[in-house]
């Protein structure tokens, strides 16, 4: 997500939280004060019968729907173009690196590790940064130090292959429900 969307999320969250806190405090104060248990309210004039009301509610509905669609679109992770121009000192040719292929190769390399059952990866733009996002499923009995070494080596290899100084990496580990290495064989 972009910083503007994150700032808007936090602002809306703070406003909603403050409104809920204020409503709770008002309810507690009203309950503890000696105010009567019956309120007399004066109703405002009925504006729903006016000729402009259907148009106003329709326009408000369209605005709210568009705002909701923008909100959803702003929260989707953005995939980036995987081709990056590499600096070259050789002639007038141009060199490109395919980040998606490099991340897929790093994930395949991690999948070959005995402690890691499965790995996948992608390149995304997250908060204005280019991120190589690797996701690994590890065995429940895996030695985390061996996993850390394998993941650190894969990330270092990825950075060495791509040579992009602005590339960041994120590795997410999930633990499998059952251990494939110690599970008894199934009889069919």
- Asked if residue 90 and residue 137 are part of one domain, the reply reads yes
How many Cα atoms within 13 Å fall on the side-chain side of residue 61? 6
Structure tokens that stand for 110 in this block: 């991690």
Give Cα separations from 38 to 6, 31, 34, 112 (angstroms). Answer: 43, 12, 12, 72
Least confident range of 63-72, 88-97, 107-116, 151-160: 88-97
Least confident range of 14-18, 53-57, 90-94, 125-129: 90-94
Query: What domain range includes position 145?
Result: 83-175
- Asked if residue 68 and residue 97 are part of one domain, the reply reads no
Q: For residue 51, tell me if it sits in a domain.
A: no
C-alpha torsion 78→86→97→152, nearest 10: -80
Structure tokens that stand for 119 in this block: 């790995």
Q: For residue 104, tell me if it sits in a domain.
A: yes
Is the pLDDT reported for residue 48 higher than 60? yes
- Give the span between the Cα atoms of 41 and 176, in whole angstroms: 59
pLDDT tier, 149 (very low <50, low <70, confident <90, very high otherwise)? very high
pLDDT for the residue numbered 80: 65
Given 76, 110, 134, the domain boundary residue is: 76
DSSP per-residue letters across 41-107: -PPPP-GGGSTTHHHHHHHHHHHHHHHHHHHHHHTSPEE---EEEEP--STT--EEEEHHHHHHHHH
Domain count, the chain: 2
- The per-residue pLDDT of the chain, averaged, comes to 81
pLDDT tier, 9 (very low <50, low <70, confident <90, very high otherwise)? confident
Antiparallel, parallel or unpaired: β 129-138 and 116-126: antiparallel
Least confident range of 13-17, 82-86, 101-105, 139-143: 82-86
Is the pLDDT reported for residue 88 higher than 70? no
Given 76, 110, 128, the domain boundary residue is: 76
Long-range CB contacts for residues 101-106, cutoff 8 Å, separation at least 24: 102/132, 102/158, 102/161, 102/162, 103/132, 103/133, 103/134, 103/158, 105/161, 106/132, 106/134, 106/154, 106/155, 106/157, 106/158
pLDDT for the residue numbered 160: 84
Answer whether 123's CB lies under 8 Å from 133's CB: yes
- Asked if residue 88 and residue 171 are part of one domain, the reply reads yes
Given 76, 103, 132, the domain boundary residue is: 76
Report DSSP state, residue 112: T
pLDDT for the residue numbered 79: 62
CATH number for 123? 3.30.70.1350
Full-model pTM: 0.53
pLDDT for the residue numbered 68: 85
Answer whether 180's CB lies under 8 Å from 116's CB: no
- Asked if residue 115 and residue 66 are part of one domain, the reply reads no
């Amino acid at each position: 997500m972009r910083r503007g969307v994150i700032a808007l999320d936090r602002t809306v969250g703070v406003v909603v939280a403050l409104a809920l806190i204020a409503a709770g405090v008002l309810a507690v104060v009203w309950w503890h004060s000696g105010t009567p248990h019956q309120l007399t309210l004066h109703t405002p004039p009925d504006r729903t019968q006016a000729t402009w009301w259907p148009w106003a509610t329709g326009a408000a509905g369209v605005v709210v729907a568009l705002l909701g669609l923008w909100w959803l679109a702003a929260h989707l992770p953005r995939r980036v173009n995987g081709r990056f121009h590499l600096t070259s000192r050789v002639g007038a040719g141009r060199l490109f690196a395919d980040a998606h292929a490099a991340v897929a190769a790093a994930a395949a390399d991690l999948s070959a590790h005995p402690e890691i059952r499965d790995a996948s990866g992608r390149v995304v733009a997250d908060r204005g940064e280019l991120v190589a996002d690797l996701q690994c499923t590890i065995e429940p009995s895996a030695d985390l130090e061996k996993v850390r070494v394998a993941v650190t080596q894969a990330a270092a290899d990825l950075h060495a292959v791509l040579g992009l100084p602005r590339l960041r990496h994120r590795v997410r580990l999930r633990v499998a429900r059952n251990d494939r290495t110690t599970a008894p064989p199934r009889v069919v």
